[in-house]
Structure 1
Amino acid sequence: AGWKGGYGRVVIIRHKNPMHETRYAHLARFARGIRRGRFVRQGQVIGYVGASGLATGPHLHFEFRIRGRPVNPLAVQRVPARPVPKALRAAFDAEVRASLAALSHPIRLAAWE
C-alpha cells in the first residue's frame, strides 16, 4: 500500500499463486491497518474509493496481473469452488436473493466537486 504515480493511492496484493497480483488504485484513503507488508483476507476492507493520482473522478481502478502483465479478469481460468453444503444452502440462497434485490434498485451518488 502506498502512492504509485498515476495510480495514486494503491493497494497491490500478491496472491498465494506468486504469478498473480491484483491492484486497487485511485483510493481516497487506506483502511485502518493497511500498509506495506501486511497480510489481508478475502472480504477485508482495504481502502475507500477516491480520485487520487491521475483519476479525473472518483472510481476504483481494479487490475489483475499474471507474471506482471495486465489481463482481463473475466478471461482468467479460476479454480472451481466447492459447492455450498446442503445445511447452509437455504441461508446462502436467502443472501443471494437479498443481494440481487439490493442491486436491482438504482442508487444515488453524492455530487463530486
Structure 2
Amino acid sequence: MRGDPVRGHLDGLLLAALEDGPLHGYAIITAVQQRSAGTLELRTGTVYPALNRLERAGLLRSSWESVGERRRRCYALTDAGRRALADERTAWREFTSAIGSVLDPARAPRPAT
C-alpha cells in the first residue's frame, strides 16, 4: 500500500515506529514495513521531510551517530511526541469506529430507544 492510503496517517506511523527507542531514517521505514507485514511501503522522499517537520514541531529530537565510517541521523520521541502519539491513537480509534459503523452496520452500536 503506497501513497494516498498513508497520507494523513504518516505522522502517527512515524511516531509509533519510534515509541520503543531511537532509530535512524531507514530503520524507521523498515520498522513500519515490518509492523505492517509488508503492506506499508514508505518512500524516503516522504519520510525524511516528515521527520524534519516533526522535529521542528518539537515532537522529535535528532542526533548524529557514527557507524563505522558512516554518519546517520537518529530520531527519538520527545515528551510532546509521546503525547502526540497518544492523541493520534485516540483519533485513529474514533475514526476506525465511525468508519466501521458505516461499512459494517451489523456491528454498529444500536441507539437506545
More strand by share: 1
TM-score, normalized by the shorter chain, greater than 0.5: no
Bucket of the pairwise TM-score, normalised by the shorter protein: under 0.3
TM-score, structure 1 as length reference? 0.21
Larger relative contact order (Cα-Cα within 8 Å, sequence gap ≥ 6):
2
